[in-house]
Structures are given as C-alpha cells and as structure tokens.
Amino acid sequence: MLTRDEYVAKMKQRLDKWSAEMDALEAKTQNAQEDAKVKAQEQMSTLQAMRLDGEKKLEEIKSATEDSWEHLKTETEKVWDAFKDSVQAFKSHYK
C-alpha cells in the first residue's frame, strides 16, 4: 500500500502524462477538416476539465487528514479511470 506522499508523487506523474497525451492529441487534430476540428476541440475541452479535476483531487489529498485521504484516493482513481477511457476513445477516433 502506498503512503500518501508516494501516492501524490504517482498522481503527479499521471497528471504530467495527461498533459503530454493531450498535447499530442491536439497536434494530431490540427490537420483535420473544420467540422472534425470543432468536435475535437470540444472533446479536448472535456479532457482539460477532467485534468483540472484530477489536479484538484491531488491538492485535496495533499491537504487531507490521514483519516480522509484514503477516501479521496478512491475518488481520484475514478477520475483517472474516466480520463483514461476518454483519452482512449479520443485516440481511436483520431488515429
């Protein structure tokens, strides 16, 4: 089982990975036709909101008590899973 500090470090790495993946996805969509580009931008906005939610959860974990951080960890994992699924769907659409 990870300590809170280890978990925070792991989540920071995930957030950095999210940012890099989003940059790569955004670059892929730049050459798309206009209607596809608009849809991609809408999806990117959703992904950005999810990333911000992940950052917020990480900050909450950093400031949480020992008793409450495990609950926040569960919520954060749900955010991560939803983001991962959304990125996979986006990638499969814009291969």
pLDDT for the residue 13: 94
DSSP letter string over 17-57? HHHHHHHHHHHHHTTS-HHHHHHHHHHHHHHHHHHHHHHHH
Q: What is the mean pLDDT of residues 18-32?
A: 84
Q: Determine the structural domain holding residue 22 and report its residue range.
A: 4-94
Distances (CA, A) of 82 to 22, 34, 75, 92: 15, 27, 11, 16
For residue 66, give the 3-state DSSP assignment. Answer: coil
Sign of CA pseudo-dihedral 51, 57, 63, 69: negative
In tens, the pLDDT along 26-73 reads 888 887 788 888 888 888 899 889 889 888 988 999 999 888 888 888
pLDDT at 92 over 90: no
Tally of structural domains, the chain? 1
Amino acid residing at 93: H
Per-residue tokens: 85 = 């699924």
pLDDT at 6 over 90: yes
